[in-house]
Structure 1
Amino acid sequence: MTDNGANQQDLGAEYDSVNQMEDEVRAGKNIIILKRQEWKDFKEEERAKEAERRRRQERKDDDDARDQKMQDFMQRILATQASTTSTSATTSTTSTTTPAQTTRLPQRQIKPFKGDILEWTPFWESFNAAIHSSSIAAVQKFDYLKQYLQGEAFLCVENLELNDTNYQKAIDELKQMYGKPEVLIEAHLHKLNTLQPVKDMSDISALRSLQLRLQSHINALQTLGVDKSTYAGLLGSNLIHLLPFKLQAKWTESASNKVTDIDGLIAFIIQQVEAAERLNRLREQVAKPSHPTQSKQPQATPATASQLSVGARPDPAPQNGKSFKQKTTA
């Protein structure tokens, strides 16, 4: 009996030891599973961070490339402008050495300059041809200049005393503020980027205005030495979206529908506008207003002198159908 009790105690102790070992194994398995999950989460977080880092680097590279392209574009424009300005300065020096033949100013209208940078070039060309290049005294030129300046532009010369020395100072200050080539180029490019779209095909005046404004800014940029090829692609893609949907569809169906072909695109717009204008003129000629003829109402027969002397009334005008009294009694 004593041996049996001892065996049972040993078996119980061994059973408890096995259960404890199993609990430890299960706890170890749970720790392993937990560590594996933590490792997976860590790797996923690392991959997400790496992907985000690559995206940021790609965006930064794109921004840097775009900035570099813009800098290269402006450098080419300024280099071209510097060459054009040097040639113009040589021509101007040669022309100024030739004495003027007359002191009589031509009779012409010069539009006052109020400070709009896009109006400086036409103003200066008119003022230079009419007054600045003449042989009158500088003080007289300065007097004319003050008369043609208004608004912000007049403030540049308002406090300068009217004398020969200050005239050249005023010209230099105005050219410094409004005549810088890079500022003019930027202003015209901004105007091209902010042209208003035409939504309705029937709005012919808006289409014609868009075409004229487009050509005006392109011509000004060419005068400043900026070739159309430097901005043709960007301008063409923007210009397409300024047209009504029907014109966009016609352009895509045309044989030469390249967005980089600015001349072809402008020619297409001109062709469509002229066709619409001709159609409107034909419609106006066909649809003339018609005036309906009005039927003449019969007039009453005037009474004779003898009838008037006895108190007779003139005969009433003949009426068609029954009289009002007859109609009411019927």
Structure 2
Amino acid sequence: MENLLKKRKAARGWVPRLGKELVSLLGRPVLSAVELKAVIENFDIRLSKLDEVQSEIEVELESDLLDDDLDKAFEFRTTSLIPRIKAAEKLLELDKKGDDDSSTTNGSSGAQVKLPKLELPKFKGEVTEWQSFWDQFSCHVDNSDIPVISKFSYLASLLEGEAKSVISGLSHTSVNYKIACDLLKERFGRPERMILAHVQALLNGKVPVKAGGPKYVYLLWNLQDELLTHIRSLEALGVSGKQCEVFLAPIILSRLPSEIRMEWARKGAGHESDLEWLLKFLQEEIETIERSETFKDVTSRKPENPSVSEEKRNWHSKGSREKVTSASALHTSSEVEYPICGFCAKKHKTENCYETLKLKGHSVLRK
């Protein structure tokens, strides 16, 4: 134990020295990216050695002293990383500037392609997403030449939710990196569990509700993409062949809207367990519905009659209709706008006309 403590003391002496060297480099007005990168790599090597010694001490240390030692080790490491983080940011800035200068210098010699910054996906614990996540992480981080402790840092930063809780009890050391990878593979990467997860996803998906318009077509295309993702993932896991198609085809049919299943029943005689035929049929049906909805949208727009439109505009611009003297026009006006008297042409009903009432009164007196 005493020997381990001496090793840790020596390692702790190196890390802050290299941190001071990084601070000194960052203070220079002119800084070489190559020189900065060399010091960063040396810093990472020394920090990795410190982490290895710390792990060995944690195993040997008595439980009543472990918590205090862990707190001190964490504080030391966090403080030591500050110049390392600033140096990494500066190095990215220098690399970007170098790329821009190279593009400007070589612009006349040929087309320059500037690749976008690569961002690895987060993993929250969805078993169906594990293989895609691990393949990308393995290619860009796990198989790279960066220090093991940096790989662990990348891995921890990409985990969320249930996946993060799997490795939350491990100390952030180089020795524990492989343990963390093995724990994640055991929890999410077992082939039988991934197969079951993809089959469950196929069974539990929602069936698009029939509706008109672009939204329905959009939902159908999303459904096809989802189905293909799970099917191709199952094939990659070894679930393929005629025997597998016998149970996959009915599962996929259960996810289709009733009108598409009906069309499959009409056309699919002899192809009941043919998965590839079913997928091709689904794509053709969605394309047919999409063309139909597009045509429906175009034909639903009625052409406007210029003469009628002009007549309507003239009607509204006058504000009120002109007086009409014919009895039929007056009758129409009484139904549509105002009651116009057929006797005196004033705005009241004919039977209520004062002049008419007077005439009726005279006739009564004569009798």
TM-score normalised over the length of structure 1: 0.54
SS in 2 for 1:231: helix
SS in 1 for 2:239: coil
- Going from structure 1 to structure 2, the CA distance change for 1:319 and 1:186 (only over 3 Å counts) comes to closer
The yes-or-no answer on 1:295 pairing with 2:305 is no
Name which one, 1 or 2, has greater alpha-carbon Rg.
Answer: 1
Partner residue, 1:221: 234
- Using the aligned pairs only, state the percent identity: 27
* Alignment of structure 1 residues 136-175 onto 2, 5 Å: 136-175=146-185
The yes-or-no answer on 1:279 pairing with 2:292 is yes
Stretches of structure 1 that go unaligned for 5 or more consecutive residues are 1-102, 300-316
* Aligned with 2:200 (options 174, 190, 213): 190
Stretches of structure 2 that go unaligned for 5 or more consecutive residues are 1-91, 96-114, 324-337, 339-344, 354-367
State the alpha-carbon separation in 2 of the partners of residues 240 and 224 from structure 1: 22
- Going from structure 1 to structure 2, the CA distance change for 1:286 and 1:130 (only over 3 Å counts) comes to farther
State the alpha-carbon separation in 1 of the partners of residues 277 and 193 from structure 2: 28
Partner residue, 1:126: 136
State the alpha-carbon separation in 1 of the partners of residues 319 and 242 from structure 2: 84
Partner residue, 1:321: 322
Shift of 1:139: 1.0
Shift of 1:150: 0.8
* Aligned with 1:181 (options 168, 187, 191): 191
- Going from structure 1 to structure 2, the CA distance change for 1:161 and 1:200 (only over 3 Å counts) comes to same
State the alpha-carbon separation in 2 of the partners of residues 327 and 119 from structure 1: 83
The yes-or-no answer on 1:111 pairing with 2:121 is yes
Contact 1:201 1:246 in 2 (8 A): no
Contact 1:141 1:167 in 2 (8 A): yes
- Going from structure 1 to structure 2, the CA distance change for 1:171 and 1:106 (only over 3 Å counts) comes to farther
- Going from structure 1 to structure 2, the CA distance change for 1:106 and 1:141 (only over 3 Å counts) comes to farther
Q: Deviations over 1:59-117 (max 9, x none)?
A: xxxxxxxxxxxxxxxxxxxxxxxxxxxxxxxxxxxxxxxxxxxx999821222111111
Aligned residues: 211
The yes-or-no answer on 1:267 pairing with 2:277 is no
Contact 1:199 1:245 in 2 (8 A): no
Contact 1:115 1:153 in 2 (8 A): yes
- Going from structure 1 to structure 2, the CA distance change for 1:160 and 1:193 (only over 3 Å counts) comes to same
Cα RMSD for the two superposed structures: 3.4
The yes-or-no answer on 1:209 pairing with 2:222 is yes
* Aligned with 1:235 (options 233, 248, 271): 248
TM-score normalised over the length of structure 2: 0.49
